[in-house]
A = this chain, B = another copy of it.
């Protein structure tokens, strides 16, 4: 446990933050709150994604963190993630929104967002989340995490698994890609019958009898 006093300026350079939110009052209040931290400078606010993207195309000084709302006039935040990543690949994009629906979370994470915070957070929480982002973390609101966990089937892990050999895992990797035994054998440079034998062993170990059940089991229990 590192007992770093919260507000002590660490010896790193300023964290530069952009804020994209169409609520002007929120922008004002929140960028002020951000600036109270000596490590953070909220450089610019935008009310539309398009403006931010346009700006970043010509601006050489990219921000470290982009706080991005979802519901915006014009291009929505979710659709702005990829364009933003394109014009500023090294910026961490953190969603900051009231929308906590599963679909939005998935889409944001899939599109490359580093974090997903809710506007119900206190500014202090957002601050520490931003700092966490800079050290390789992924800031997520606890509620969001719980939703993510519910979305993924972590149940019945580690029941029948275990003794799948490395070679068998090689086979499995191609099976979940949908390859036939013949193709798998070619990929692994072994005879058709060899790959087939391996697969038979896998079937026995995992107690499945079809390709689809196998693929399902492998993915659900993360056997790779």
Chain A interface (Cβ < 8 Å from any Cβ of B): 1-4, 6, 26, 29-30, 106-107, 109-110, 115, 119-125, 128-129, 132-133, 135-143, 145-146, 148-149, 151-155, 157-158, 175-180, 208-216, 219-220, 222
Asked if A110 and B212 make an inter-chain contact with CB atoms under 8 angstroms apart, the answer reads no
Task: Provide a sorted-by-A list of 23 A–B residue pairs whose CB atoms are within 8 angstroms.
Answer: A1-B26, A2-B120, A3-B123, A6-B122, A6-B124, A106-B154, A137-B142, A137-B143, A137-B146, A138-B149, A140-B145, A145-B145, A151-B222, A152-B152, A176-B213, A178-B213, A178-B214, A179-B212, A180-B210, A211-B212, A211-B215, A215-B215, A216-B219
Chain B residues, Cβ within 8 Å of A133: 142
User: A128 vs B128: C-alpha distance in the bound complex, in angstroms?
Assistant: 11
Q: Which residues of B contact A132 (CB under 8 A)?
A: 142
If the complex has contacts A157-B106, A216-B177, are A122 and B1 also in contact, measured as CB distance less than 8 A? Answer: yes
Q: Tell me how many chains of this kind the complex includes.
A: 2
Return A3 CB to nearest CB of chain B, in Å.
7
Shortest beta-carbon distance from A7 to chain B in Å: 10
* A140 contacts B140, C-beta separation under 8 Å: yes
Bound Cα distance A215, B152 (Å): 15
CB of B213 within 8 A of CB of A210, answer no
Nearest-CB residue, chain B, relative to A153: B219
Q: Kindly provide the distance from the CB of A200 to the nearest chain B CB, expressed in whole angstroms.
A: 15
State how many angstroms separate the Cβ of A66 from the closest Cβ of chain B: 17
Would A122 and B3 count as touching, CB distance under 8 A?
A: yes
A154 surroundings in chain B (CB, below 8 A): 106, 109-110
Instruction: Take A1-B30, A157-B110 as given contacts and tell me if A137 and B145 are in contact as well, using a CB distance cutoff of 8 Å.
Output: yes
Q: Which residue of B lies closest to A114 (CB)?
A: B146
Cα–Cα distance between A151 and B109 once the two chains are bound (Å): 13
Please give me the residue from chain B that is nearest to A175 by CB atom.
Answer: B212
